[in-house]
């Protein structure tokens, strides 16, 4: 079956750029344009509004996007189910995680998985862990390694891999804004401390709750996407940061910062593999899911 038209449409819907979409699909922009025109002709509607400067989905395009995702998922499901019954799995799995998770958890996971399923191709995308759940729910990724949210969406399955404490880190060198007593936060001192925090995500939520419980209004110096960048900014002496301890342990800049033993401690969180219940029916996805013990 030729499903290229649906694949071309979905890539263009994600990128909203003919050049990037054609590169991703390994076709020329003119071929991609013909694919979209063929779909629009068959459906009798415009899927994209486009001019010389921009491309974006129409209302009909958004409706068709969900159909296209479902159609490809159903095709993959039946194809992989038949492969599973024949004893050999092949296909592609996309995984999203942070840079730290890619070598802290993914390496061990895939080192066992790869020899067992050599015909399964893996696409790895790294980025801000706060985006992981959104990308899985939106269908942009098959699976993600991420922190378990406070409330797990009902359509998601989550399997824990490890527990990581959240820790405060400070520059190795002293600074004039550093509180005299770092182990016991005082309102008058900590309100002046420049804080470097994640823009969004579970770590930011728990840090905000920690400050609120102590009655401290933090002085936020910088909001950063990605925990690795927080370590860099703290190492440069810009302030105190909050990161998962696993990020600190694996950072090449760990010698430029120090852990702070502050009480009360921040609440740790579970790190694990997440996938939609719907995709978990796919034999390829389930094979990797079963790899986590």
User: CATH number for the domain including 12?
Assistant: 1.10.10.10
Distance between CA atoms of residues 120 and 283, nearest Å? 11
Nearest Cα residue to 126 out of 141, 111, 139, 110: 141
Length of the chain: 293
pLDDT tens for 229-252 read: 999 999 999 999 999 998 998 888
Cβ neighbourhood burial of 166 (10 Å; 0-12, 13-18, 19+): buried
Q: Is the pLDDT of residue 81 over 60?
A: yes
194-211 average pLDDT score: 91
Residues 196 and 246 in one domain: yes
Pairwise pLDDT comparison (127 vs 182), residue with the higher score: 127
Residue 41 has pLDDT above 70, yes or no: yes
Q: What is the CATH number of the domain that holds 195?
A: 3.40.190.10
Task: Say if residue 151 is in the same domain as residue 178.
Answer: no
pLDDT at 84: 63
Would the pLDDT of 185 be above 80?
no
Do the domain assignments include residue 75?
no
- List of residues 6+ apart from 224 with CB closer than 8 A: 196, 197, 198, 199, 230, 233
Do residues 157 and 289 share a domain? yes
**277 and 252, same structural domain?**
no
> What domain range includes position 188?
166-267
Average pLDDT, the chain: 87
Task: Count CA atoms within 13 Å of residue 170 on its CB side.
Answer: 18
Round to whole Å and give the CA distance between 165 and 174.
Answer: 24
- pLDDT, average across residues 32-36: 91
Predicted pLDDT of residue 142: 92
Residue-level pLDDT at 111? 85
Query: What's the rounded Cα separation, in Å, for the pair 116 and 283?
Result: 14
If one counts the domains in the chain, the total is 3
Q: Kindly tell me if the per-residue pLDDT of 114 is higher than 90.
A: no
Q: How many CB atoms lie within 10 A of CB 228?
A: 17
List of residues 6+ apart from 256 with CB closer than 8 A: 171, 172, 231, 234, 235, 236
The predicted pLDDT at position 234 comes to 95
In percent, how much of the chain has pLDDT > 90? 36
Over residues 70-84, mean pLDDT = 77
141 and 178 in one domain? Answer: no
Q: Are residues 136 and 277 in the same domain?
A: yes
DSSP per-residue letters across the chain: ---HHHHHHHHHHHH--HHHHHHHHTS-HHHHHHHHHHHHHHHTS-SEEE-SS-EEE-HHHHHHHHHHHHHHHHHHHHHHHHHHHHT---EEEEEEE-HHHIIIIIHHHHHHHHHH-TTEEEEEEE--GGGHHHHHHTTS-SEEEEEPPSS--TTEEEEEEEEE-EEEEEESS--TTS-S-SSS--HHHHTTSEEEEESSSHHHHHHHHHHHHTT---EEEEEESSHHHHHHHHHTTS-EEEEEHHHHHH-TTGGGEEEE--SSPPPPEEEEEEEETTGGGSHHHHHHHHH--
Contact (Cβ atoms closer than 8 angstroms) between residue 104 and residue 143: no
Which of 68, 96, 126 finishes a domain?
68
The lowest-confidence range among 60-64, 93-97, 116-120, 176-180 is 176-180
Residues 208 and 254 both lie in one domain: yes
Q: Flag whether 82 is in a domain.
A: no
What is the pLDDT, as a whole number, of residue 86?
58
pLDDT of residue 144: 94
pLDDT score for 47: 94
What per-residue confidence (pLDDT) applies to 85? 64
Instruction: Provide the pLDDT for residue 62.
Output: 92
The pLDDT of residue 281? 83
Given a cut of 70, whether residue 1 has pLDDT beyond it is no
Give the C-alpha separation, 222 to 40, whole Å: 46
pLDDT at 276 over 90: yes
Both structure tokens of 181? 């007593």
pLDDT-derived band at 226, boundaries 50, 70, 90:
confident
Q: How confident is the model at residue 104 (pLDDT cuts 50, 70, 90)?
A: confident
The model's confidence at residue 46, banded by pLDDT at 50, 70 and 90, is very high
Question: For the residues 149-158, what does the mean pLDDT come to?
Answer: 90
Is the omega angle on the peptide bond into residue 264 within 30 degrees of 0, that is, cis?
yes
- Do both 147 and 118 map to the same domain? yes
Residue 184 pLDDT exceeds 80: no
Residues 52 and 188 in one domain: no
Average pLDDT for 159-188: 83
Per-residue model confidence (pLDDT) at position 113: 87
**pLDDT given for residue 83 in this prediction:** 65
Is there a single domain that holds both residue 287 and residue 156? yes
Beta strand 269-276 with 257-260 is: unpaired
């Amino acid at each position: 079956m030729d499903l290229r038209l649906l694949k071309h449409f979905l890539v263009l819907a994600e990128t909203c750029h003919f050049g990037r979409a054609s590169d991703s699909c390994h076709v020329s922009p003119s071929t991609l344009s013909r694919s979209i025109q063929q779909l629009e002709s068959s459906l009798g509607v415009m899927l994209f509004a486009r001019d010389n400067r921009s491309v974006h989905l129409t209302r009909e395009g958004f409706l068709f996007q969900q159909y296209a995702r479902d159609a490809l998922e159903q095709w993959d499901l039946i194809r992989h189910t038949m492969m599973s019954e024949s004893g050999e799995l092949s296909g592609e799995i996309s995984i999203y995680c942070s840079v730290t998770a890619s070598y802290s958890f993914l390496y061990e996971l895939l080192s066992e998985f790869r020899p067992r399923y050599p015909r399964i191709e893996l696409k790895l995308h790294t980025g801000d862990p706060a985006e992981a759940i959104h990308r899985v729910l939106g269908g942009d990724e098959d699976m993600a390694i991420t922190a378990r949210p406070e409330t797990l969406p009902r359509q998601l399955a989550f399997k824990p891999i490890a527990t990581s404490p959240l820790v405060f880190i400070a520059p190795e060198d002293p600074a004039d804004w550093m509180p005299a007593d770092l182990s016991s936060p005082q309102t008058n001192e900590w309100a002046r401390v420049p804080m470097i925090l994640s823009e969004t995500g579970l770590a930011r939520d728990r840090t905000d709750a920690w400050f609120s419980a102590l009655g401290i209004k933090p002085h936020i110096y910088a909001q950063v996407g990605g925990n690795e960048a927080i370590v860099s900014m703290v190492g440069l002496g810009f302030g105190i940061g909050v990161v998962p301890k696993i990020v600190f342990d694996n950072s090449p800049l760990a010698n430029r910062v120090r852990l702070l033993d502050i009480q009360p401690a921040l609440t740790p969180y579970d790190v694990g593999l997440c996938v939609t219940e719907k995709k978990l029916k796919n034999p390829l996805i389930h094979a990797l899911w079963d790899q986590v013990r």
